């Protein structure tokens, strides 16, 4: 299963980008094929509704044809790490070829994306900076593969 993270904004060198890269490097080809990060342009000079609409167009355009969409949204479903690993395993074992995780900008995701998503996922009740969400997502993907292989990283 190929993973594509499509995110608004460009992560500059520093801790947020480093966190993403550390966990991405730990992902095994055994469980996840190609892992790609696509960064779409972030504009701040538009009204919130126009901004979300523009970002939605760019985020959706980057989703691989036929790929399932996971929208990262604070109003989404919360899951334990084990439940998320199980959800991923079911998709992988079910033959899903492409899974795209969409991360909006500071204004969040447009309703259009949330409606098209196969899963709307929240990383908890707290609000996280959109640039940090990338690293948190990569850590959970790494944790999922550790759960699948009974690696001691996940002690839950």
Residue ranges making up the domain that contains 139: 2-148
Number of domains in the chain: 1
Q: Is residue 17 part of a domain?
A: yes
Give the model's pLDDT for residue 106.
Answer: 87
Question: How far apart are alpha carbons 18 and 23 in whole angstroms?
Answer: 9
- How many Cβ atoms from other residues are within 10 Å of residue 1's Cβ? 19
Give the model's pLDDT for residue 87.
Answer: 98
- The residues, any chain, with a CB within 8 Å of residue 19's CB and separated by 6 or more, are 132, 134, 135, 136, 138, 139
Q: Is residue 155 part of a domain?
A: no
Q: Is residue 139 part of a domain?
A: yes
Q: First vs last Cα of the chain: how many Å apart?
A: 25
pLDDT in tens, the chain (156 residues): 999 999 999 988 999 999 999 999 999 888 998 999 999 988 878 898 999 999 999 999 999 999 999 999 999 999 999 999 999 999 999 999 999 999 999 889 999 999 999 999 999 999 888 889 999 999 999 999 999 999 989 886
Q: Where are the alpha helices (DSSP H) in 62-129?
A: 81-93, 111-116
* Residue the block writes with tokens 């990060």: 37
Question: How far apart are alpha carbons 85 and 102 in whole angstroms?
Answer: 18
Q: Is residue 56 part of a domain?
A: yes
Give the Cα-Cα-Cα angle 22, 59, 79 (nearest 5 degrees): 60
Q: Is residue 156 part of a domain?
A: no
Q: Within 13 Å of residue 105, how many CA atoms lie on the same side as its CB?
A: 25
**Cβ(8)–Cβ(44) below 8 Å:** no
**Cβ(55)–Cβ(105) below 8 Å:** yes
Q: Is residue 153 part of a domain?
A: no
Q: What is the pTM of this model?
A: 0.94
Total count of residues recorded for the chain: 156
């Amino acid at each position: 299963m190929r993973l594509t993270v499509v995110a608004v904004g460009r992560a500059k060198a520093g801790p947020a980008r480093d966190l993403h890269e550390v966990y991405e490097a730990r992902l095994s080809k055994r469980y996840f094929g190609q892992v790609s990060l696509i960064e779409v342009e972030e504009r701040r000079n538009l009204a919130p509704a126009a901004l979300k609409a523009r970002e939605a167009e760019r985020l959706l355009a980057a989703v691989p044809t036929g790929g399932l969409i996971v929208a990262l949204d604070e109003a989404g479903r919360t899951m334990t790490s084990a439940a998320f690993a199980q959800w991923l395993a079911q998709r992988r074992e079910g033959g899903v070829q492409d899974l795209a995780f969409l991360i909006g900008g500071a204004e969040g995701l447009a309703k259009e994306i949330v409606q098209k998503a196969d899963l709307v996922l929240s990383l908890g009740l707290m609000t996280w900076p959109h640039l940090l969400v990338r690293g948190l997502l990569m850590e959970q993907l790494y944790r999922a593969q550790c759960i699948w292989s009974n690696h001691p990283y996940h002690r839950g």
